[in-house]
Amino acid sequence: AGTATSFLRILTHPHTGIVLDVSATPFRVPAALKKYLQLRDGTCRFPGCNRAARHSDLDHTRDKQFGGATSATNLFHLCPANHNLKHFSAWTPTALPDGTLHWVSPAGKHYATDPATRISPHPQQTVPPDSNAPPTNPASPPVRDPWNSPCHFDDPHPQPF
């Protein structure tokens, strides 16, 4: 799948195997976007995996069938084993615009994987902001995000891992 020039989505019934739907347009990741993602990711983006991106599959964080865009902020590399694990278990990733992936395991534990290289994507390769998202209130205090908060070694009450 990693070297395929296009994909044609065929939906089959899980028990009978009867074809239920065929996508009207083939799915294709542009060559320039593939190259960018390979440089950005470097390896499989599953926690602890170091298989080279060139030997991995491109996967949507939010599936295309559910409105996920074919863009740099929604695509990442997964080796075939971890690609299956993502789709057939409760591992769920969330992508940030800087290329960081936050994973939640079936046990509820959080893991983050950083891209090998942080390269700003071309504006055409990013997902536009959600127009239905609630507006942010600049008067409210910022929410302390454990993923992006600075580490303070002199904190008398440090957060556990």
pLDDT digits (tens, 9 = 90+) for 40-98: 999 999 999 999 999 999 999 988 878 888 888 889 999 999 999 999 999 999 998 88
Each domain of the chain, given as residue ranges in start order, spans 29-122
Q: What is the pLDDT of residue 51?
A: 95
Residue 22 Cα to chain centre, angstroms: 25
Q: Which long-range contacts (CB under 8 A, 24 or more apart) does 61-66 make?
A: 61/93, 61/94, 61/95, 61/101, 64/9, 64/27, 65/9
| pLDDT at residue 117 greater than cutoff 60 | yes
Rounded distance, CA 56 to CA 155, Å? 41
